[in-house]
Amino acid sequence: MCTLAVSNIDQVRANGLESDRPYFFRVVAVGAKGESPVSDIALAKAA
C-alpha cells in the first residue's frame, strides 16, 4: 500500500511503476469536515 498526501489537485502521477503490470487504486478525500467515503477500486496499467 502507498499513501500520498496531496493538496488542491485533481490528478496524481505514480512514478516507478512496472510497465504493463496492473495496479489498483482507491482514493479518500480529507477536508475540514473529515474524510470522504473510500472510492471504488480503479484498475490501471503503467505505460
Question: Domain segments of the chain: what residues?
Answer: 19-47
**Closest to 30 measured CA to CA, from 15, 12, 8:** 8
pTM: 0.62
4-27 pLDDT, tens digit each: 777 777 777 888 889 989 999 998
Confirm if 41 and 27 have CB atoms less than 8 A apart: no
Has residue 31 got a pLDDT over 70?
Answer: yes
